[in-house]
C-alpha cells in the first residue's frame, strides 16, 4: 500500500534545485554576456531545457507503476543503448573536443549517456533481484558445483546481461566517456552488496571489472590528469595544471564566509568551465567554507535519506534500485567536488542539480522522481 512520499527528500531536492539555480545565475553572468550578448542567456536556457522539463520528467517517473519499471527495464535499457550508439552517426552525432557524446535532432541536442546511468541502474536492479541467494545455504556450499554451474536458465540470462553490460563498456569507451562508465560501475557494485545474489554473480561481476580495466588505456589527457593529481607542484601551471590551480585559488580565496554571491573573480576568464565542471569552485569562492559545507551536507543528507528508503523498501528490486540512484547522485557529486579540490583526478562529471546542462539534469530529476516513487512504498 502506498503513502505520501518522503517529505525530507522532497525538501532536500527542492533546496538543491533552487541553490543550483542561484549558483548558476552568479557563475554564468559574465560568460553569458561575453558569448551571447545577454547576462541571462545561460540561466534562461537552463530553465527552458533543464529545470522545467526535468521537473515534468521527475513527476512522470514519480507516478510510474514500479512493477512496470521492473518489467520493462530491459526495453528501456535497449532504447537508451540505441540512442547512445547514434552519437557515431555523422549526420546526427555531434563531436566536441574530440569526444562523440551528443546527438542532435533539429534544434534539440542532448547527451544520451546521461540517461544511460539511470537505465543501467534500473536494468541491473531488475537483474540482481532475480538472483538473491538463499541465506540457509551456508558458507560451506558457496563454491559447490551447483553454485558454480553455468547451465540452464541462469546461464542464458547471465549471458544476455554480460552482452548488454559489455555494450555499455564498448559504447562509452569509443565516445570516450570513462567518467560515466565509472559512475555506472561504482553504482552497480554498491547494488550488488545489497542484492547478495550468490557466487556465480560474483564471478560475472569480476569478469566485467576485468574487461573494464583492460578497456581503459592510460594515455593522452587521462594520463596528464593523473600525473597532475599525483604531482600538482610539478605540473605546468599554464598547461596541464592550469584548471586545478585556478580551482584551488578560487576555493582558497573564499575564506570562511566568501566574497559574496556574484562577487567572485575567478569566473571572469580565469577559471575554465565556470558554469560546468568548475561551478563548485565558483560557489566556494563566493560563499566560502560555510557555503561549501552546507552544499556538501545537502548531498550527505540526500544519501542518508536514500539509504533509509532503501532499507525500508519491501523487496530486493526496490532496495537495489533506490541504493543505485543514491550512489549515482552522491558518487557523482563528491567526485566532482573532490576533483576541483585536488582530492581525485579531474573528471568531466557535472555536479548534480547544480552544473549547467540539460541532459544530466533531466536524468537526475528522473532518478529523483523514481526515488520519491519508491519512498511511497517503504515499510513504515
Across 200-205, average pLDDT: 66
Digit-coded pLDDT (tens) for 6-62: 899 999 999 999 999 999 999 998 889 888 888 899 999 999 999 999 999 999 999
Digit-coded pLDDT (tens) for 314-326: 888 999 999 999 9
- State residue 17's pLDDT score: 94
Judged by average pLDDT, the poorest of 113-122, 203-212, 269-278 is 203-212
Mean pLDDT across the chain: 82
Digit-coded pLDDT (tens) for 296-305: 999 999 999 9
Phi, psi of 195, rounded to the nearest 5 degrees: -70, -35
- State residue 146's pLDDT score: 47
SS (H, E, C) 215-230: HCCCCHHHHHHHHHHH
- State residue 204's pLDDT score: 67
Q: Which three cell numbers stand for residue 307?
A: 539509504
Q: Which residues of 47-70 are buried (b: 16+ CB within 10 A; e: fewer)?
A: eebbbeebbebbeebbeeebeebb
CA distance 36 to 276: 17
- State residue 122's pLDDT score: 96
Please return the burial class of 197, using the count of CB atoms within 10 Å of its CB with bins 0-12, 13-18 and 19+. Answer: buried
Domain ranges of the chain: 7-375
Q: How many CB atoms lie within 10 A of CB 303?
A: 18
Does pLDDT of 79 surpass 70? yes
Percent of the chain with pLDDT over 70: 78
Return the H-helix or E-strand segment holding 96: strand 93-96
Looking at per-residue pLDDT, the higher value among 364 and 157 belongs to 364
Does pLDDT of 199 surpass 70? no
Across 122-145, average pLDDT: 60
H helices of the chain, where?
7-36, 41-46, 52-63, 66-71, 73-85, 112-128, 145-148, 152-174, 178-195, 199-215, 220-230, 242-253, 279-311, 316-340, 358-375
Across 146-171, average pLDDT: 66
Residue 49 is classified by DSSP as: I
Amino acid at each position: 500500500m502506498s503513502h505520501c512520499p518522503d517529505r525530507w527528500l522532497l525538501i532536500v531536492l527542492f533546496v538543491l534545485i533552487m541553490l543550483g539555480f542561484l549558483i548558476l545565475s552568479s557563475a554564468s553572468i559574465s560568460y553569458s554576456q561575453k558569448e551571447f550578448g545577454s547576462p541571462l542567456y545561460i540561466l534562461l536556457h537552463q530553465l527552458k531545457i533543464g529545470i522545467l522539463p526535468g521537473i515534468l520528467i521527475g513527476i512522470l517517473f514519480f507516478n510510474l507503476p514500479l512493477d512496470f519499471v521492473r518489467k520493462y527495464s530491459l526495453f528501456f535499457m535497449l532504447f537508451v543503448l540505441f540512442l547512445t550508439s547514434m552519437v557515431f552517426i555523422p549526420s546526427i552525432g555531434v563531436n566536441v573536443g574530440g569526444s562523440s557524446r551528443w546527438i542532435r535532432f533539429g534544434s534539440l541536442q542532448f547527451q544520451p549517456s546521461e540517461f544511460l546511468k539511470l537505465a543501467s541502474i534500473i536494468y541491473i536492479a531488475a537483474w540482481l533481484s532475480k538472483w538473491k541467494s538463499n541465506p540457509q545455504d551456508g558458507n560451506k556450499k558457496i563454491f559447490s558445483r551447483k553454485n558454480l554451474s553455468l547451465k540452464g536458465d541462469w546461464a542464458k540470462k547471465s549471458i544476455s546481461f554480460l552482452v548488454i553490460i559489455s555494450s555499455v563498456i564498448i559504447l562509452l569507451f569509443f565516445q570516450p566517456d570513462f567518467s560515466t562508465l565509472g559512475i555506472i560501475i561504482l553504482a552497480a557494485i554498491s547494488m550488488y552488496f545489497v542484492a547478495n545474489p550468490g557466487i556465480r554473480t560474483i564471478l560475472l561481476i569480476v569478469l566485467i571489472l576485468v574487461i573494464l580495466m583492460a578497456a581503459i588505456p592510460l594515455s593522452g589527457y587521462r594520463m596528464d590528469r593523473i600525473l597532475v593529481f599525483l604531482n600538482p607542484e610539478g605540473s605546468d601551471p599554464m598547461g596541464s595544471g592550469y584548471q586545478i590551480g585556478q580551482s584551488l585559488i578560487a576555493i582558497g580565496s573564499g575564506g570562511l564566509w566568501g566574497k559574496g554571491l556574484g562577487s567572485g573573480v575567478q569566473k571572469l576568464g580565469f577559471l575554465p568551465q565556470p558554469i560546468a565542471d568548475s561551478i563548485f569552485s565558483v560557489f566556494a569562492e563566493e560563499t566560502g567554507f560555510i557555503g561549501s559545507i552546507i552544499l556538501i551536507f545537502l548531498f550527505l543528507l540526500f544519501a542518508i535519506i536514500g539509504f533509509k528508503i532503501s532499507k525500508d523498501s519491501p523487496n530486493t528490486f526496490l532496495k537495489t534500485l533506490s541504493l543505485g540512484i543514491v550512489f549515482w547522485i552522491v558518487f557523482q557529486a563528491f567526485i566532482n567536488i573532490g576533483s576541483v579540490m585536488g582530492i581525485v583526478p579531474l573528471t568531466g562529471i557535472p555536479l548534480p542539480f547544480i552544473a549547467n546542462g540539460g541532459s544530466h539534469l533531466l536524468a537526475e530529476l528522473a532518478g529523483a522522481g523514481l526515488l520519491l516513487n519508491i519512498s511511497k512504498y517503504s515499510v513504515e
